[in-house]
Chain A
Amino acid sequence: KQEVTQIPAALSVPEGENLVLNCSFTDSAIYNLQWFRQDPGKGLTSLLLIQSSQREQTSGRLNASLDKSSGRSTLYIAASQPGDSATYLCAVRSGAQKLVFGQGTRLTINP
């Protein structure tokens, strides 16, 4: 059974810092891995999707990497801003249409 773990559960950093969020998964047989953002009391917004054949994806200040063999992904956020404060969720698709989610990292950027 696929399990997804995100470390740390919470992170607080000053504005302007570069930071890395971590995601690990137990079964390397995946179709893709996705990073989502969730603002308090809201739904999820897709940030980046990495196919199993890809190593990384970039969107603006965000860069996500995937190392399938070791079961790890990282989300790198450059020059963090207070507006980046949210919960970041990692999810893997390893069968059918279902996604398996980690529990998220709650990120706070302090002005």
Chain B
Amino acid sequence: DVKVTQSSRYLVKRTGEKVFLECVQDMDHENMFWYRQDPGLGLRLIYFSYDVKMKEKGDIPEGYSVSREKKERFSLILESASTNQTSMYLCASSPDGLAGVTDTQYFGPGTRLTVL
């Protein structure tokens, strides 16, 4: 079974802190994604990566950056956390190529981040 793990289930940070959210997948997937989920707004893509050290902006990248130094690990960074970044953050991975067309994205359990 594909497994996507996220470093924390719940996280509480102060405004202005630098925050790291970590995601690890064990299926050698090329693609990895970070979403945030908010009531009434659904899931929105923040960033995705299609290879090591490669990244592309999603729909709402402002205030976030990412890092992918190893294939299995994709980090989301909040350089200076703000209260409007309080949200549920979901990581996902998927294979590339033909398998990527026929296969789904596999999601982690999510990190509920509260910024005070």
Contact = CB atoms under 8 A, between A and B. Distances in A.
Interface of A: 31-32, 34, 36, 41-46, 49, 51, 89, 91, 93, 97-99, 101-104
21 contacts: A32-B101, A32-B102, A41-B110, A42-B110, A43-B4, A43-B90, A46-B106, A49-B103, A89-B43, A91-B43, A93-B101, A97-B48, A97-B50, A97-B96, A98-B33, A98-B58, A101-B43, A102-B42, A103-B40, A103-B41, A104-B42
A34 B107 CA distance: 13
Size band of the interface chain B makes with A: 20 to 34
Contacts of A99: 45, 105
A46 B90 contact: no
A46 B109 contact: no
Nearest to B102: A51
Interface in B26-80: 31, 33, 40-43, 45, 48, 50, 58
Contact of B45 (A32, A34, A45, A98): A98
A43 B42 contact: no
A49 B100 CA distance: 12
